[in-house]
């Protein structure tokens, strides 16, 4: 592996979607409350505060909980502010308040059906902003190899649907990559960044699991250790995963969560000050990092947290934040 001369790229990716029933008091694309947006616009504010832009994978199909006018307006604002609009594909409205059956994801459909669905989404985005998206993420990470063929056929050249170790991701069968960008069927796959997170209590190892870099999954300190580890591994751009509702306390009436906004702001500041990182879009990062690395299937870096002493903040975070849905998602049950 040759030493990199460029600073590492941090890509904040945001899945913009709204599947909440019963309904919250507002949509979770913009999440306007008290005259202020707490959804995608606030995430853009924080990114721009640090001189960067992000990639927003927008579900453009749902009309059960959001209107076409609202979705179009959100897409137009993202593009007008210089952020990347990517396509987010949910072929059906998810069942239930949070989870959904994997039969509703892209991989359950034929290549022809997937191609038609992608083409419809691309056409909507192009109609709204006069520009076709170049990136895609499958809802529920439910892409398969037909999905990549469908994307290539319509001209989408970058995908970010691989979640290594997630049982419902069809690009893990056989495994395409772990963290490194790789080409397949004319599409550059830039996976969701993962680390193997180990919990220890002093010398006693308690638990280990593969985690994406997501404030909904990891404490602020753990996120910093994940960034340190993935930059040291130099496998590719570091993807930070968010939803448009990540700055809301969805467990408590969808109230604005100023703490979550400050965690994101502080984390980006840390990446820039500690690693001289650049905050870029996925399309920009895809042009920088080499693909088809021989070590694409190298195990994810290990991040060890000692709940007894050094990393006690994680213990308090777990007590406050972990819900049954986190456990279901960690086990691939959604």
Residue 154, φ and ψ in degrees, nearest 5? -95, -5
- The encoded tokens of residue 56 equal 């927003």
- Cα 240 versus chain centre, distance: 6
Summarize the confidence of residues 223-241 as an average pLDDT.
95
Give the lowest-confidence range in 22-31, 37-46, 101-110, 182-191.
101-110
Q: Distance between CA 269 and CA 272 in Å, rounded? A: 5
Strand 36-37 to 32-33 pairing: antiparallel
Q: Is the pLDDT of residue 318 over 70?
A: yes
Length of the chain: 334
Whether residue 193 has pLDDT greater than 70: yes
- What is the pLDDT at residue 1? 47
Average pLDDT over residues 207-222: 92
Phi/psi of residue 116, each to 5°?
Answer: -65, -40
Residues 6+ apart with CB under 8 A from 315: 307
Write out 86-122 in H/E/C secondary structure.
Answer: EEEECCCCCCCCCCCCHHHCHHHCCHHHHHHHHHHHH
Which whole number is the average pLDDT over 282-302?
Answer: 90
Strands 135-138 and 84-89: parallel
Q: Which residues, at least 6 apart from 312, have a Cβ–Cβ distance to it below 8 Å? A: none
Contact 41, 68 (CB under 8 A): no
Q: What value does the mean pLDDT of the chain take?
A: 90
Q: Where are the domains of the chain?
A: 9-192+230-286
pLDDT of residue 203 exceeding 50: yes
- CA 260 to chain centroid: 16
pLDDT at residue 323, rounded to an integer: 64
Which of 90-99, 120-129, 185-194, 322-331 bottoms out in mean pLDDT, i.e. has the lowest? 322-331
For the chain, helix, strand, coil in percent to 5 are 35, 20, 45
Read off the pLDDT of each residue in 54-83 and give the average, rounded to a whole number: 97
Residue 88 has pLDDT above 50, yes or no: yes
What is the pTM for the complete model shown? 0.93
> 3-state class of 15 per DSSP?
strand
Q: What is the rounded CA–CA span in Å between residue 309 and residue 17?
A: 38
204-212 and 238-243 as β-strands: parallel, antiparallel, unpaired?
A: unpaired
Question: What count of other Cβ atoms lies within 10 Å of the Cβ of residue 263?
Answer: 17
CA distances 44 to 13, 14, 38, 72, 220, Å, are: 11, 10, 10, 17, 20
Whether 80 contacts 72, CB under 8 Å: no
Q: Is the pLDDT of residue 224 over 70?
A: yes
Count the Cβ atoms, other than its own, within 10 Å of residue 3. Answer: 5
Two tokens at 135? 């990136």
pLDDT band with cut points at 50, 70 and 90 for residue 289: confident
Burial of 223 (C-beta count, 10 Å sphere; 0-12/13-18/19+) = buried
Compute the average pLDDT of residues 282-304: 90
pLDDT at 130: 98
Average the pLDDT over each of 94-98, 106-110, 164-168 and give the range with the smallest value: 94-98
Q: Report how far residue 135's alpha carbon sits from residue 192's, in angstroms, rounded to the nearest whole number.
A: 13
Q: Which of 105, 115, 111, 155 is nearest to 135 (CA)?
A: 155
The pLDDT, as a whole number, for residue 100 is 54
Provide the CATH topology of domain 9-192+230-286. Answer: TIM Barrel (3.20.20)
What confidence score (pLDDT) does residue 329 get?
56
Q: Which residue has the higher pLDDT, 276 or 92?
A: 276
Q: Which contiguous run of DSSP H or E holds residue 137? A: strand 135-138
pLDDT at 103 over 80: no
Residue in the structure block whose two tokens are 């000692």: 306
Calculate mean pLDDT across residues 253-274.
Answer: 96
End-to-end CA distance of the chain: 37
pLDDT at 96 exceeding the cut of 60: no
Q: What is the pLDDT of residue 293?
A: 83
Check whether the bond before 22 is cis (ω within 30° of 0).
Answer: yes
């Amino acid at each position: 592996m040759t030493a990199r001369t460029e600073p590492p790229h941090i890509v904040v990716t945001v899945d913009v979607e709204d599947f909440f029933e019963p309904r919250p008091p507002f949509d979770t694309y913009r999440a306007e409350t008290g005259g202020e947006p707490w959804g995608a616009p606030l995430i853009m504010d924080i990114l721009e505060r640090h001189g960067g832009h992000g990639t927003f994978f927008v579900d453009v199909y749902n009309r059960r909980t959001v209107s076409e006018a609202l979705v179009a307006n959100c897409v137009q604002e993202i593009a007008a502010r210089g952020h990347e609009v990517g396509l987010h594909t949910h072929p059906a409205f998810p069942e239930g308040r949070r989870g959904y059956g994997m039969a509703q994801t892209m991989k359950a459909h034929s290549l022809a059906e997937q191609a038609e669905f992608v083409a419809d989404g691309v056409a909507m985005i192009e109609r709204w902003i006069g520009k076709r998206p170049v990136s895609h993420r499958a809802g529920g990470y439910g892409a398969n190899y037909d999905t990549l063929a469908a994307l290539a056929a319509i001209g989408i050249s970058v995908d970010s649907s691989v979640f290594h170790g997630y049982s419902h991701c069809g690009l893990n069968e056989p495994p395409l990559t772990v963290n490194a960008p790789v080409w397949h069927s004319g599409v550059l796959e830039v996976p969701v960044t993962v680390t193997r997170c180990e919990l220890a209590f002093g010398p006693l190892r308690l638990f280990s699991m593969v985690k994406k870099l997501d404030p909904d999954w990891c404490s602020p300190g753990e996120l910093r250790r994940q960034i340190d580890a993935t930059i040291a591994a130099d496998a590719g751009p570091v993807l930070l995963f968010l939803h448009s509702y990540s700055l809301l306390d969805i467990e408590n009436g969808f109230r604005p969560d100023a703490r979550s906004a400050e965690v994101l702001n502080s984390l980006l500041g840390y990446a820039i000050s500690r690693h001289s990182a650049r905050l870029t879009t996925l399309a920009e990062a895809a042009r920088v990092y080499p693909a088809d690395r021989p070590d694409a299937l190298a195990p994810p870096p290990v991040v060890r947290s000692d709940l007894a002493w050094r990393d006690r903040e994680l213990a308090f975070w777990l007590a406050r934040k972990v819900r049954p849905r986190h456990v279901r998602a960690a086990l691939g049950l959604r």
